[in-house]
Structure 1
Amino acid sequence: MQRIETHHAIAIRWLALPKRGGKTMEEIAAECGVTKRSIYDWLKEPLFDRELKKEIVRQTTARIPEVMASLTDAVINDHNAAAAKLLLQVNGMLTDKVEIDAKVSETVDVEALKARILAQRA
């Protein structure tokens, strides 16, 4: 597939909807003027897949505030620890990275350090 044609765009619009907008694959194929097999073949094409994912993001972006409200409700009402962790991560208040402050002394007595190491080994 070199580019997205009109029939591809029609399929993408329906496939990006929750539950395909209530349509079956046969109905979507009929709207596009192709067979159901064509739709399944398109789903394997990288360009079609990328465009489908972009359309899903476009359609769901407007609902993110609802998702966040629902997540907040799950934390508060259900005492859901996983939801709390996700909510904090989404808001940048919790990360998995560990930051280490290294303090290096410029006056390291290498000979004393070697002596301590030898003493520990003995």
Structure 2
Amino acid sequence: MLKRIETHHAIAIRYLALPKRGGLTMEQIATEAGVSRRAVYDWLKDPLFDRELKKEIVRQTTARLPEVMESLTDAVLTDHNAAAAKLLLQVNGMLTDKVEVETKVSGDVDIDALRERIKQAKGRGV
């Protein structure tokens, strides 16, 4: 298990975080990092390496988020894509899957009477 990210790890992370690994094979990435291909595959299983790789992917993609949002908006408007519309609203905090229920109880609740009302409602198909 890695204790810290060293230069050869950072070199591999830089290439692995690129789309299509920057056009390099795993062998080429290993060569650039000065290690064996097996070492790179082993690093991919390491929690610290994995966490740093994900951080680098986020860093590299953050700059392109405006483009992503624009294309998402285009998909909603031109393709009438409902899934894209839902995602766009969620990203902007205008739609949530969260359901909030507020209950107000005043005084004592007669549980038996409440159960009877539920039973009656079920009988009516409500």
Same fold flag (TM > 0.5): yes
Q: Which has the larger radius of gyration?
A: 1
Q: Unmatched 5+ residue regions in structure 2? A: 121-126
CA–CA distance in 2 between the matches of 1:109 and 1:54?
52
Q: Would the alpha carbon gap of residues 103 and 41 (structure 1) be closer, same or farther in structure 2, given more than 3 Å must change?
A: same
After superposition, the CA RMSD in angstroms is: 2.2
Matched residue, 1:24 = 25
TM-score, structure 1 as length reference: 0.86
Identity of aligned residues (%): 75
Q: Unmatched 5+ residue regions in structure 1? A: none
TM-score, structure 2 as length reference: 0.83
Matched residue, 1:10 = 11
Matched residue, 1:33 = 34
**What secondary structure is seen at the aligned counterpart in 2 of 1:105?**
coil
Matched residue, 1:47 = 48
The code of the aligned residue for 1:36 comes to R
Aligned residues: 116
CA distances 1:28-62 after superposition (whole Å, capped 9, x unpaired): 11111111111101101111001000000110011
Cα displacement (A) at 1:109: 7.8
